[in-house]
Amino acid sequence: MSTPHRAAVLGSPIAHSLSPALHNAGYAALGLDGWQYGRHEVDESTLAAFVTRLDPAEWAGLSLTMPLKRAIRPLLDTVSDTARAVDAVNTVVLDRDGRRHGDNTDVPGLVNALRERGVERVESAAVLGAGATASSALAALAQVCDGEVTAYVRSAGRAAEMRALGERLGVPVRTADWADGARALDGPLTVSTTPVGATDGFAAQLTAAPGVLFDVLYHPWPTALAAACLERGGTVLGGLDLLVHQAVLQFERFTGVERGPLAAMRAAGEAALAG
C-alpha cells in the first residue's frame, strides 16, 4: 500500500476554516488519490508538540492561521524572505528528511487576486488596520503600488510599526487617524484588514465613485463597507479571493504540481460559504 500524503490547517479557533474544503477539492480535481487535508485545534502551548511528532514520510505541509503565524518560527529550519519581511508564516513545507520550511502565501496570493481582477499597478493605495494581515497587505502593495501607501490606524504605536515596515519594504508609508478611514476609498485601491464590524461606520461616508476595495473578510459577506462600495459602482474583492489564491499556492508547494486547480478550489469555497 502506498504511503498516504497528509496536510492540515492549524490554529485556534479552527472549526470555521474553509481550507479543508479547498484543498480536498483540489486533490479530487487532479485525481491525487491518497492525499488528505484536515484541521487541528492547536495554540501556542501545543504547537511544538504537534509539529515535532509529525512523520515526514507522511506529512507534506501545514497551513497556519492565528495565533500561530509567529509562534512557528523557532520550529523552522528555513524561512522565506517574504515571511521574514512581514514576520508571519502561514505555510510550512515538510521535506522527507524532516526539515521544515516556512513561507508566506498571503502576500503573493493578494497580488494574484488583484491581478485576476485587472489591478496591475496603482499610483497610490491605502490600508485600513495595522495588524498581521495589514503587514502582508503592505508587502503586497510594494509590488503593485508606485507611490505612497496611507495606513489608517488607531494608535501611535501601530503607526510607528507600519512606517517602520514600509521602510524595510521600500514603500513610503504615511499614517492617518482611524476616524478618517472613509477617505481611504477616495483613492484607487484600499485593502481593509480589520475584524468584523470595524469599518461599518465608514459605509455611509463614501463618495459617489469609490476605488477598488479589497476586504479580507469572507463571513459575513458582503461587509457593510463592501456593500456600500458595490452600490456606488466600485470594484470589490473579498476574503474568499485572498483565501483561494493563497491556498492554491500552498497546494502547489505541498503537492509539487505546477499549477493548482484554482477554479475547483474557488467553487468549493463558494459552496462551503453558501452551505
What residues are labeled active site?
A: 69
Handedness of CA 70, 258, 143, 130 (dihedral sign): negative
Handedness of CA 113, 114, 120, 126 (dihedral sign): negative
Cβ distance 216 to 193 under 8 Å?
A: yes
Burial 150-169 (b: 16+ CB within 10 A, else e): bbbbeeeebbebbbebbeeb
C-alpha pair distances (Å), 146 with each of 58, 82, 156, 184: 44, 19, 26, 17
C-alpha pair distances (Å), 168 with each of 2, 3, 54, 55, 111: 46, 43, 35, 37, 19
Cβ distance 244 to 260 under 8 Å?
A: no
For the beta carbon of residue 53, count every other beta carbon within 10 angstroms. 8
Distance CA 244, CA 14 (A): 17
Rg of the chain taking only CA atoms, in angstroms:
19
How far does the chain reach from its first CA to its final CA, in angstroms? 35
Per DSSP, the residues of 123-149 read S-EEEE--SHHHHHHHHHHHHHBSS-E
